[in-house]
Amino acid sequence: MVREPLTEEQIERGRVLGAMLRAARAQRTMVDVARHAGISVETLRKIEGGRIPTPAFFTVAAVAATLDLSLDDLLRRTDEAATPGPSPTAPLRDIAV
């Protein structure tokens, strides 16, 4: 099975998702969040760094639940931030990607 290369938009969404999760983690350590989400610290590090641009749904759901984030809100904000053009969610523009 050959996997098609990711588009620039998919890669950018991965960067945005990682930045949002990193910002939501705030002062919590990666070890703490990864342990509570049931994933490895290295997986969390790669997601936050945008090196896994399309993480598994259940991985994102576990991290979101650990950080008390709504998946609906996370999806909406990721879509808005990764789509070119003006966005109504100005605070997301402040997140370094």
| Cα distance from N-terminal residue to C-terminal residue, the chain | 32
Domains of the chain: 8-82 (1.10.260.40)
- pLDDT tens digits, 50-88: 999 999 999 999 999 999 999 999 999 988 887 766 544
Taking the complete model, does pTM exceed 0.75, yes or no? yes
pLDDT at 66: 98
Contact (Cβ atoms closer than 8 angstroms) between residue 71 and residue 64:
yes
pLDDT at 84: 67
